[in-house]
Amino acid sequence: MARDRGPAVARRLLEKALRAMRASAELSQQQVAAEFDWSPSKVLRIENGQVAVQTSDLLALLALYGVDDSDRVRELVALVRESRRPSLASKYRHILTPEFADWLEYEAYADTIHHFETKLIPGPLQIEAYTRAIVPAFLGPEAEQTRIDQTIEMRLDRLEELLNPKGPELIYIIDEAALRRWIGNEAGSTGQRIMMDQINRLKKLNTIGRRAQGEEVSGNLNPNVSIQIVPLSRGAYHLLRGPFELLHFNDESIENMAYFENPDMDVVIRYTRNEPGKYDDYLDRFVALQKSLHAPEELDRVLDRLVDVMADRRNDLRLDA
């Protein structure tokens, strides 16, 4: 099933193509601007993705560059149309940090996502009740109900983008501590019910593990999701320092990206292919940890043991008693 590229990725591909075609035609930005009586800055902004390209402008540029292959023209026109589609980030930009909005422009269109989490169930794996419990807590007691509702809606929409059958390959590692916290029990009334439902949801979404066990996976789910748990018995390990998410794109013209969520700010880092920086370090450590854990096909057994502990209340130390 063909995957969507998404508006942001389409813009990047279009920018690259326009710069390459102008260079092939041996024209400067100033010469192109003079040909159409444009300001030189317009050509610069088009090639940098700072302004949306109109189809009429694209066709004029292709004629100037001598591009007349009908398949190539159709492909580039399709990129223009795709680049102008509304995105999840554009819909919710008013409630997002600039960094997270930028991240959402690309996340669902990556080819592979590696996500490590220490304290919470990763957002795309959360059941709605879990999300509704954590959002008000994160936004604080002074948050307006409208903002709370919109944030919850955004998170649920994000889930749909990632978990649909055309979503990226999703590889999750979750520290067991995230499963031990009774999210939803803030008022002391629901006990472990939400966490039990959440654990069952993890089992269902672990489609790579389920397929490895010979199970049939529903056609409305992303078939390429794996989930592994780091047991508390593991003790200290390097990645315990904090959660992160890595985006990998097979097209080398799109930078790989890393996202780090901190209490005071979000950090998004882009890594060019010739200067990967710490991206490869994080990926190597993720993969090394992944190989040391129970495989995705063993997730049900791992979670069932945890449920037994929770049901017996053996993890309820009652420190507040």
In tens, the pLDDT along 281-308 reads 999 999 999 999 999 999 999 999 988 8
Give me the pLDDT at residue 172, please: 98
* Domain ranges within the chain, ordered by starting residue: 7-83, 88-311
Mean pLDDT for 275-279 is 76
pLDDT tier for residue 4 given thresholds of 50, 70 and 90: confident
Contact call for residues 158 and 124 (beta carbons, < 8 A): yes
Q: What is the mean pLDDT of the chain?
A: 91
Give me the pLDDT at residue 313, please: 60
Three-point CA angle 223, 282, 227, nearest 5°: 30
CATH class (in words) of the domain with range 7-83: mainly alpha
Tokens of 245: 């998410």
Tell me the pLDDT tens digit for each residue of 187-211.
777 668 899 999 999 999 999 999 9
**Cα–Cα dist 247/112, whole Å:** 6
Contact call for residues 258 and 271 (beta carbons, < 8 A): yes
Average the pLDDT over each of 88-92, 264-268, 281-285 and give the range with the smallest value: 264-268
pLDDT tier for residue 276 given thresholds of 50, 70 and 90: low
**Cα–Cα dist 171/18, whole Å:** 34
Structure-derived torsion over alpha carbons of residues 40, 45, 48, 51, reported in degrees to the nearest 10: -160
Tell me the pLDDT tens digit for each residue of 166-187.
999 999 999 999 999 989 888 7
> Which three-class secondary structure string do you get for the chain?
CCCCCCHHHHHHHHHHHHHHHHHHCCCCHHHHHHHHCCCHHHHHHHHCCCCCCCHHHHHHHHHHHCCCCHHHHHHHHHHHHHHCCCCHHHHHHHHCCHHHHHHHHHHCCCCEEEEEECCCCCHHHCCHHHHHHHHHHHHCCCCCHHHHHHHHHHHHHHHHHHHCCCCCEEEEEEEHHHHHCCCCCCCCCCCCHHHHHHHHHHHHHCHHHHHHCCCCCCCCCCCCEEEEEECHHHCCCHHHHCCEEEEECCCCCCCEEEEEECCCCEEEEEECCCCCCCHHHHHHHHHHHHHHCCCHHHHHHHHHHHHHHHHCCCCCCCCCC
pTM: 0.89
Tokens of 134: 């954590």
Of 14, 16, 164, 157, nearest to 87 by C-alpha is 157
With a cut of 80, say whether residue 6 has pLDDT above it: yes
Token pair 């317009």 in the structure block, residue: 42
